[in-house]
Amino acid sequence: MTTTTSRRRSSAAATLAGVAAVAALLLSGCTSDGPDGGTPATDPGALAVSPDGSGTQCSAAAPCTLEDALGKAIAGTVIQLGDGEYGEIEIGEVGTLASVAENVVVEPAPGSAPTISAIKTDAPNITWRDLPVAGVVYLDEGANGTTLDSVHVTGSGLFVHADDVVISSSTFEGGSSIDGIQFSGATNVLVENSTIRDYDQTADNDVHADCVQIFDSSALVLRGNYIGNCHNASIIFSPGNGDGISDVIIESNHVQGCVEKNELCGNGTLLDLRETTASDVIVRNNTMIDGSVLVEELPGLVFDRNVIDYVSNCDMPMSNTIVARWNTGLCEEPAAIGRDGNRVKEVEVVDRAAGDLRLAEPAQAEVEGAGDVTPAEKSFDGDSLAETQAGAG
C-alpha cells in the first residue's frame, strides 16, 4: 500500500540551517578544540566513513569507521557513509556528543548506497538522515536529542526510550509480530509527516503488532502522519510499568485500520485509549477510517473535531466530531451524538484502498465548532485548518 501525499521537512530544514551556521563559523576561522583537547577540528568538510575504514583522518581518500568519525565530530559535523554493508550499527556512549551545540549528522555520501541491518544507539545528539535500515532502530536511554530525518525502516520497527527525539518525514513498514513505533519511558518526542504502516501478525505469541504503542511516556506529539494497516491497533495506550502516560497530542493524522481484514491483519482498531494511567491527552482533527475507536473518559482528555468511521463504546466522550457508524447492539445511538457539535455523517475520502484519506468533499466534515477547544493549526498537508473543519483536512 502506498501514499501519495507530499511531506513537509520542517525539522530537517532546521537541522540543515544549524549545520550551515556551524560551517560558516568554521570557515571564518573560529574553531573548537578536538575531543582529546589537542588539535582543533577546523575542516568544515564532511568526515568520510566506510564499513572497513582504517584511516585516521576520515577523508575521502582514507575513510575511517563510523565510531572513529563520531569521536572526531564537533557541533554540526556531517559524517557521510560510503557504499557497503554496515551490518548492525551499535553506538555506545561518545563523550563529546553530549555537549555539542548542534547535532552531528550521519547520512549517505553523494551517490552512495550504504546498507544497514539495524541501528542501536545509546549516544545523544545524532541526526540520522536519508538512510535505509532493513531492521530495528533502537534509541536507548542515552540517545537523547536524536533526530531521524527521512529514514526508511523495513521489516522491523523503532523503539524509543530516550528524550527530546524528533522523527520527521520517515517511513516504518513491513514488520511482522512487532510494533512500528513503540515508546517506553520516553519524554518530549515529536513524530511528524511520517508513515507507519503494514505491520502484520504471524507469530503465535503474546506480542501483537501495532503501528504505534505507548507505555510510560510523556510529552509526545503525533502530527501529520499516516498510521495504518496494522494487525492489532493503529494507536494504542498500554499500562507498561504503571508509571503513566501524560501530555500526548495526536492531531492531523490519517489513521486507518486493516485495509483488508485477514489472518495477518485481523483486528485493525484505529485508536485504543482506555489506559487508566493516561491523562491530559488531546486527540483532534484526525481522520480515522476502516476500524473502530475506543476512548474512555480520562483526566484532561480532549477528543475534538475528528472524523470517525466506527465508535465502539456508546458513552465515548467527544465534541465537534463526525461519526459514521457505531455498535447498534449496545445502544441505539452514542450518548454524545446531537450535542457538543457532534453529528452523524459518512464522510468520503479520496482513496481508501491506497491509504489516501484526504477528504474528498471537505464540506461533508464541517462542524459547529462548539465549545472552547482549540483546533489543530495545520492539516495533514500542512494547510491552515478552519475552526469549523473536522478531520485532518
pLDDT tens sequence across 98-144: 999 999 999 999 999 999 999 999 999 999 999 999 999 999 999 99
The alpha carbon torsion through 267, 268, 270, 275 (nearest 10 deg) reads 40
Sign of CA dihedral 243, 220, 150, 260: positive
Cβ burial, residue 172 (10 Å; 0-12/13-18/19+): buried
The tens digit of pLDDT for each residue in 80-91 reads 999 999 999 999
Higher pLDDT, 160 or 240: 160
Pick the closest to residue 138 from 160, 107, 116, 156 (CA basis).
160
Q: Give the pLDDT of residue 206.
A: 67
Contacts 24+ apart (CB under 8 A), 173-178: 173/197, 173/198, 173/199, 174/198, 174/199, 175/199, 175/200, 175/209, 176/200, 176/201, 176/202, 176/203, 176/209, 177/201, 177/202, 177/203, 177/205, 177/207, 177/208, 177/209, 178/207, 178/209
- Would you state the pLDDT for residue 41? 36
Which residue type sits at 258?
C
Q: Report the pLDDT value the prediction gives residue 226, as an integer from 0 to 100.
A: 98
In tens, the pLDDT along 28-66 reads 333 334 433 333 333 448 999 999 999 999 999 999 999
**48 backbone dihedrals φ, ψ, rounded to 5°:** -95, 135
194-210: average pLDDT: 87
Per-residue b or e along 304-335, where b marks 16 or more CB atoms closer than 10 Å to that residue's CB = bbbbbbbbbbbebbbbbbbbeebeeeeeeebe
| C-alpha cell read off for 163 | 528524550
**Structure confidence at residue 261 (pLDDT):** 86
Report, as an integer, the average pLDDT of 259-266.
86
Q: What is the pLDDT of residue 202?
A: 87
Q: What is the CA radius of gyration of the chain?
A: 22
| Dist. CA 364–CA 195, nearest whole Å | 26
pLDDT in tens, 297-355: 999 999 999 999 999 999 999 999 999 999 999 999 999 999 999 999 999 999 999 99
Q: Give the end-to-end CA distance of the chain in Å, rounded to a whole number.
A: 21
For 156-190, the pLDDT digits (tens) are 999 999 999 999 999 999 999 999 999 999 999 99
Say how far apart CA 355 and CA 368 lie, in whole Å. 28
Sheet strand arrangement including 47-49: 47-49, 78-81, 104-108, 126-129, 147-149, 163-168, 187-192, 218-223, 245-251, 278-284, 302-304
State the pLDDT at residue 136.
98
Q: How many other CB atoms sit within 10 Å of the CB of residue 164? A: 17
Task: Please determine, for residue 200, whether its predicted confidence score (pLDDT) is greater than 50.
Answer: yes
The pLDDT > 70 percentage for the chain reads: 88
- Average pLDDT on 220-249 reads 96
Position 84 scores a pLDDT of 97
- Identify the H or E element spanning 163: strand 163-168
pTM of the model: 0.87
Is the pLDDT at 375 greater than 70? The verdict is yes
Cα 283 to Cα 320: distance, rounded to the nearest angstrom? 12
Beta-carbon contacts of 354 under 8 Å, excluding residues fewer than 6 positions away, are: 1, 2, 3, 4
Helix, strand, or coil here: 32? strand
Q: Where are the beta strands (DSSP E) in 16-135?
A: 47-49, 78-81, 84-91, 104-108, 114-121, 126-129, 132-133
Q: Among residues 239, 242, 246, which one has the least CA distance to residue 219?
A: 246
Mean pLDDT for the stretch of residues 261-280? 92
205: confidence class by pLDDT, cuts 50, 70, 90: low
- Cα-based angle 296, 173, 242 (whole degrees, multiple of 5): 35
